[in-house]
Chains A and B, each alone.
Chain A
Amino acid sequence: MTIAISSLTKSFGPTAVLRGIDLSINDGELVALLGPSGSGKTTLLKIIAGLDWPDAGGLVVNGQNWLDLPAQKRRIGFVFQHYALFPHMTVRDNIAFGLSVRPRAERPGKSVIAAKVTELLALLQIPHLADRYPTQLSGGQRQRVALGRALAIEPAVLLLDEPFGALDAAIRRDLRRWLREVHQQTGSTTLFVTHDQEEAFELADRVVVMGEGRIEQIGSADQIHDRPASPFVARFMGAVVELPVTLRAGRAEAAGLDARALERRAMADGPAQLFLRPDAIALEADPASPWVLAHKSSNGAMIRASMRRADGTEVPVDLLRHSAPDLTLGTAYRLRPLTGAVFALDGIAQSDAPRPLPILKEKRQ
């Protein structure tokens, strides 16, 4: 199933939650929707599922306009963040629900349903839990049941809202691998929401970064890491170091900064802002640098160094402990970024306010 979303907007009263979403998903693709809390991920998912309606825009799946189609007819598998299992039904009945509510003419026979459920229980690796009630299951087991219930109707599209949100790190890793396998076996077009970057990049073919109701960037892990499309994405990907620099011939320059490792940008000369991740900065002793090592601590694997300038600005730097140079407190070092992103200053000012979208003809403040 291919999904084509165009210029989708949605407001709840005065708050614009989706500000023009354009997104195409290919048949069988596994796409992650990554974004901070409140960026409209769940809202977008619910609109695709037919549990909510947009104010404007299009939603076309395999050439069919889904906005005219009630949720019941969309054959969607929706896995809720908190599972939303039916507490009064056993695992078996939960999974069979979607098949057993079909109109009589389309409903498979009892034995067919039972066989389907048994097959799913095996796929989910929980056949021994078939007769338990949801309250008698652990979080990870509930998660599997929720997925099984969604898969039972052989959904054309599978939507997962933070499927592993409530689980601990080890189980998350397990379930991630397992979800990948399930996706390969079922081949359903899958869109899943997360605000865990690692999860998004590990699982998905493509990652969609959302911020405040807009799509900020679509791409692979490397693309998003190395070439964030906006200051928002840079910050969201962990570039917490922001340095004012001067661009000259596409290269960032500032006192105590050695940006030769960064590729040149096709941008006009002038003031700009450099975004860096603390773990993508190397330190080199340089008495001329204004950056002085003010503090350092180790967590075993990484050394966190805190560089301070005379004006009080601090820059955190994370170095692998085993490959880090010997660092002396009070010594001056220059910062040598390994990767980073540069944005013109006016672009940064805009990033806090909603960016005007041509299709929307939104009023600019």
Chain B
Amino acid sequence: MQAVATVNPNQSALAPRLLIGVAVAVTLLIVVAPLAYIFARAFAEGWRVYAANLMHPATVHAIWLTSIVALIVVPINIAFGIAAAWAIARFRFWGRGILVTAIEIPFSISPIIAGICYLLLYGRQGLLGPWLQANDLQVMFALPGIVLVTMFVTAPFVAREVLPLMQAQGSEQEQAAVTLGASGWQVFTRVTLPNIRWALLYGAVLCTARAVGEFGGVSVVSGNIRGQTNTLPLHVELLFNDLNATGAFAAASVLTLLALVALVVKAALEARRGA
């Protein structure tokens, strides 16, 4: 469907023009300008320096770490999101309402609080700290901690996209498939999954973008060990604090590119879903 505003030709076109002008100006000022500035600064000292900044071992490691985190977190969240949405949409069970609310919690809690909670739970002085230490398990200031916090922060994305679709669709198609002799797995892969595929992809893109960009929660649990537990967003801050502005902007440009790619994919998916 399309919503096209029609303008009464007798009316002055001034007001709409003014509003559109303001909207464009504000967007340029607070979105486009900073983005352009990132690239301008990243390339300020030329291609060579930009490439050298990106090839710096610490930066490469940060990119690698961020990718690993996303590669672990996104599939888990997809599985969790489908499972949770399916359970909520198809079954009535005790605690269903709690689950619905619980899925939303990460949206309303500041990521830094999540980070601190994990610290208090798994940290050296934390609740599970002594046990973890006794078993020689390092959660805080290591990959598991970063993954856990990122998972917490991105948990709602897939479930929230998939759930309304599943609820709207109801279970009749699945029941029809069952009466036609389909096994549980066949029902899932041939009926349930194709129905939610665009919403699922959309949720996965949002989830990836967030997982890659997460800063607050991760900064608490990572410990910022350069070349070990420094994710890309943390690395940008670190470089910036080192007064290496060009390096910081070079790293930031990678993040920005990732975000732009996610944005394009998201827009494409939206068009696809709308069709």
Instruction: Give the Cβ gap from A44 to chain B, nearest Cβ, in Å.
Output: 15
Q: List 18 additional A-B contacts (Cβ < 8 Å) besides A49-B179, A87-B195.
A: A46-B175, A51-B178, A72-B181, A72-B183, A73-B181, A78-B175, A80-B175, A84-B172, A84-B175, A84-B176, A85-B173, A98-B180, A101-B180, A101-B183, A101-B186, A102-B181, A149-B180, A152-B180
Instruction: Give the Cβ gap from A165 to chain B, nearest Cβ, in Å.
Output: 14
6 smallest CB-CB distances across A and B, nearest first, come from A98-B180, A84-B172, A78-B179, A101-B182, A88-B194, A84-B176
B190 at the binding interface (Cβ < 8 Å): yes
Contact A77 B172 (CB under 8 A): no
Contact B173 A51 (CB under 8 A): no
Q: Which residues of A contact B186 (CB under 8 A)?
A: 101
B191 at the binding interface (Cβ < 8 Å): yes
Q: Which residues of A contact B195 (CB under 8 A)?
A: 87-88
Q: Which residues of A contact B173 (CB under 8 A)?
A: 84-86
A336 at the binding interface (Cβ < 8 Å): no
Q: Which residues of B contact A82 (CB under 8 A)?
A: 172
B177 at the binding interface (Cβ < 8 Å): yes
With A72-B182, A87-B195, A88-B194 already in contact, the answer to whether A97 and B177 are too (CB < 8 A) is yes
User: Which residue of B176, B182, B183, B194 contacts A80 across the interface (Cβ within 8 Å)?
Assistant: B176
Instruction: Give the Cβ gap from A77 to chain B, nearest Cβ, in Å.
Output: 7
Instruction: Give the Cβ gap from A359 to chain B, nearest Cβ, in Å.
Output: 29
In Å, the complex CA distance between A50 and B175 comes to 10
Q: Give the A interface residue count (CB, 8 A).
A: 27
Instruction: Give the Cβ gap from B145 to chain A, nearest Cβ, in Å.
Output: 41
Contact A153 B175 (CB under 8 A): no
Residue picked from B180, B181, B186, B191, most chain A C-beta under 10 Å: B180
Residue picked from A71, A72, A78, A98, most chain B C-beta under 10 Å: A72
Contact B194 A72 (CB under 8 A): no
In Å, the complex CA distance between A50 and B180 comes to 12
Closest to B191 in A: A86
Chain A stretch 44-83: residues in CB contact (< 8 A) with chain B: 46, 49-51, 71-78, 80, 82
Instruction: Give the Cβ gap from A316 to chain B, nearest Cβ, in Å.
Output: 40
Q: Which residues of A contact B190 (CB under 8 A)?
A: 86, 97, 101
Q: Which residues of B contact A76 (CB under 8 A)?
A: 179
Q: Mark B191-232, 1 if CB is under 8 A from A, else 0.
A: 100110000000000000000000000000000000000000
In Å, the complex CA distance between A152 and B173 comes to 16
Q: Which residues of A contact B194 (CB under 8 A)?
A: 86, 88
In Å, the complex CA distance between A88 and B196 comes to 10
Q: Which residues of B contact A153 (CB under 8 A)?
A: 180-181
Q: Which residues of B contact A101 (CB under 8 A)?
A: 177, 180-183, 186, 190
Contact B181 A98 (CB under 8 A): yes
Q: Which residues of A contact B182 (CB under 8 A)?
A: 72, 97, 101
Contact A80 B172 (CB under 8 A): yes
Closest to B172 in A: A84
Instruction: Give the Cβ gap from A354 to chain B, nearest Cβ, in Å.
Output: 25
In Å, the complex CA distance between A73 and B180 comes to 9
Closest to A101 in B: B182
In Å, the complex CA distance between A87 and B176 comes to 13
In Å, the complex CA distance between A78 and B173 comes to 11
Q: Which residues of B contact A102 (CB under 8 A)?
A: 181
Q: Which residues of A contact B180 (CB under 8 A)?
A: 97-98, 101, 149-150, 152-153
Instruction: Give the Cβ gap from A163 to chain B, nearest Cβ, in Å.
Output: 14
In Å, the complex CA distance between A153 and B190 comes to 17
Q: Which residues of B contact A85 (CB under 8 A)?
A: 173, 176
Pairs across A and B, CB under 8 Å, 5 listed? A51-B179, A75-B181, A80-B175, A86-B191, A97-B177
Contact A72 B172 (CB under 8 A): no
In Å, the complex CA distance between A102 and B177 comes to 11
In Å, the complex CA distance between A80 and B172 comes to 8
Q: Mark A14-57, 1 if CB is under 8 A from B, else 0.
A: 00000000000000000000000000000000100111000000
